[in-house]
Amino acid sequence: MSNTIYHSHHIIPKYLGGTDHPDNLARLTVVEHAEAHRKLYEKYGHWQDKLAWQGLIGIIGHDECVARAYKSQLGKPLTEEHKKNISKGLIGHSHSDETRKKISQGNMGRPPTKGNLKHGKYKKS
């Protein structure tokens, strides 16, 4: 039995009008999904793809993804529902053991995030 985790990737991103129709979805591993968003970002320069790419490979964490998504709205007011949807969309991504190790190594020496403190992963001194 494989431990590989798969994501559904929107070929035409939802922010560009893509739908959840099966013809617009591709089944990708987490690494493939991150690479797809990196390529989209390099080709078209959309902040949404940069955020997805960096979040998927663990360059930035959930709290940072949400914060950057808010900032990228360029002062446009966000409804509470929109904020919840952004947060909800970033939750539940599982990483492979190899990716977890890379994330851990990348976080060495960095202070814990507020979200990790909130969820009890670190104790306040």
Residues 6+ apart with CB under 8 A from 121: 112
Range of the domain at 15: 6-118
| 80: DSSP letter | H
Query: What is the per-residue pLDDT for 32?
Result: 94
Stated pTM of the model: 0.56
Question: How much is the average pLDDT of 15-40?
Answer: 92
Is residue 125, in this structure, part of any structural domain at all? no
Question: How much is the average pLDDT of 55-69?
Answer: 84
Is residue 79, in this structure, part of any structural domain at all? yes
* H-only helix segments in 11-123: 30-44, 47-57, 62-71, 80-90, 97-107, 114-118
Query: What is the per-residue pLDDT for 21?
Result: 92
Is residue 1, in this structure, part of any structural domain at all? no
Question: How much is the average pLDDT of 58-79?
Answer: 75
Q: b or e along 49-88 (b: 16 or more beta carbons within 10 Å of the residue's beta carbon)?
A: bbbbbbbbbbebbbebbbeebeeeeeeeeeeeeeeeebee
Is residue 47, in this structure, part of any structural domain at all? yes
Is residue 124, in this structure, part of any structural domain at all? no
Neighbours of 35 (CB within 10 A): 15
Is residue 55, in this structure, part of any structural domain at all? yes
* Between 107 and 8, residue with greater pLDDT: 8
